[in-house]
Amino acid sequence: MTASTSARPRPAVRRGPAGLSLAVLVCLALLALALFASVMSGSKQTPAADVWRVITGGGDAYLRTVVESRYPRTVLGVLTGVCLAVAGTLMQGVTRNPLAEPGILGINAGASASVVAATAFLGVSGQRDTVWWALAGALVAGVAVYAIGTAGGGSSPVRLVLAGAVLSAVLAAFIQAVALSRPRVFDTYRYWVVGALAGRGFDAVWSVLPFAVAGLLLALVLAPGLNALAMGDDKAASLGVSPLRIKGAGLLAATLLSAAATAAVGPIAFVGLAVPHLVRTLVGADFRLQIAFSVLVGPSLLLFADVVGRILLRPEELMVGVVTAFVGAPALLLAVRRMRGAS
């Protein structure tokens, strides 16, 4: 095989209606299995038959209490998985960088810095108040990175990545300085920064839901424009699509989604990186399909990771942010392999 042949880009995945229907059914089945496994798993495993009785309205009071106590965690896992997966798809589409993920905009660093500052200087405590401060910090960081990356007119993926890296480095230094000098702040921060679904209730879901819905709706509206943008700025402009407007709106949607997820459960790495690659392998380059399938695949991946974390160290548990980091390593290797094959 010649060098030119080995470097040839892989053909795009094209699936007919039957193939797409099968893919949808498989993804729905995996999501249903992840949901069921999530409400089964805890400090002790609940038999599947007992869980099914509770879901269908049966079971005794104790059993219903145990199973229903896992509902908020499961719902939050679904919401977070959707937000991170769609945000990653948008980021990779807007920046045309297959290694892009929500943290590239400095959103994780912004949320973390806001939580640390609010805890240290304003005495904020409790998960409910922390959500709002994390959300505000994440949104401010996303807007700041976009403003820096587009200063002077125009924007490029490189400028946005550099702006995100610079802001993240500055905020990381601030976080370390405050957290290490104030033990109480460090105790709060070290738990939040890993990323976990445990200990959150439905109040966390309701707090971030409006931002998640707004980001998801904007992503769906932008999907056709992202398809045009994938052909290049000049080609998109010739089709009547404004590249600058699509990029700006796409980054706004990604910021809203990432901020909602990070505020609710803390920074969770690699979901936004891994899911877009899995989805592209499944359905190809059409962003309409990528976004739709990300809504199914993202929650499945996150919930399965959370279940693994609950099982491995039972009766203790491993936080989901740690598990997704192990899952993300193979995804990163896959992304590098695909980039080399398309170079």
Percentage of the chain lying above the pLDDT 70 cut: 89
The answer, yes or no, to whether the previous bond of 315 is cis (omega within 30 of 0) is: yes
> What pLDDT is stored for residue 3 in this prediction?
40
Query: Which residues, at least 6 apart from 289, have a Cβ–Cβ distance to it below 8 Å?
Result: 20, 279, 283
Q: How far is CA 319 from the centre of its chain?
A: 16
90: confidence class by pLDDT, cuts 50, 70, 90: very high
> What pLDDT is stored for residue 195 in this prediction?
80
pTM of the prediction?
0.86
The HSE-up count of residue 24 (CA atoms within 13 Å, CB side) is 10
Is 314 exposed, middle or buried (CB count within 10 Å of its CB: 0-12, 13-18, 19+)?
middle
Residue type, 52: W
The residue ranking higher by pLDDT, 109 or 155, is 109
pLDDT digits (tens, 9 = 90+) for 236-289: 888 888 888 888 898 889 889 988 898 888 888 888 888 998 898 888 889 999
Instruction: Return phi, psi of residue 227, to 5°.
Output: -60, -40
pLDDT digits (tens, 9 = 90+) for 140-151: 888 888 788 777
Q: What are the domain boundaries of the chain?
A: 72-342
> What pLDDT is stored for residue 73 in this prediction?
93
Query: Which residues, at least 6 apart from 262, have a Cβ–Cβ distance to it below 8 Å?
Result: 102, 107, 108, 111, 134, 138, 268
Residue 336, pLDDT above cutoff 80: no
> What pLDDT is stored for residue 341 in this prediction?
53
1: confidence class by pLDDT, cuts 50, 70, 90: very low
d(CA 79, CA 212): 8
Residue 221, pLDDT above cutoff 90: yes
Q: How far is CA 118 from the centre of its chain?
A: 24
* Structural contact between residues 250 and 226, judged by C-beta atoms closer than 8 angstroms: yes
- Count CB atoms within 10 A of the CB of residue 125: 12
Residue 7, pLDDT above cutoff 60: no
d(CA 29, CA 152): 49
> What pLDDT is stored for residue 304 in this prediction?
93
> Tokens in use for 220?
């769906």
Instruction: Return phi, psi of residue 316, to 5°.
Output: -80, 180
Q: Nearest CA to 318 among 227, 197, 223, 170?
A: 197
Give the mean model confidence (pLDDT) for residues 298-310: 92
**What's 72-342's CATH class?**
mainly alpha
177-180 — which CB contacts under 8 Å span 24+ positions?
A: 178/116, 178/117, 178/120, 179/116
> What pLDDT is stored for residue 2 in this prediction?
42
d(CA 216, CA 83): 8
pLDDT digits (tens, 9 = 90+) for 111-143: 888 888 888 888 877 667 777 888 888 888 888
pLDDT digits (tens, 9 = 90+) for 16-58: 777 788 989 999 999 999 999 999 988 788 888 888 988 888 8
> What pLDDT is stored for residue 115 in this prediction?
84
Residue type, 45: Q
Least confident window among 192-201, 245-254, 332-341:
332-341
Query: Which residues, at least 6 apart from 54, have a Cβ–Cβ distance to it below 8 Å?
Result: 63, 64, 67, 68
> What pLDDT is stored for residue 134 in this prediction?
83
> What pLDDT is stored for residue 127 in this prediction?
67
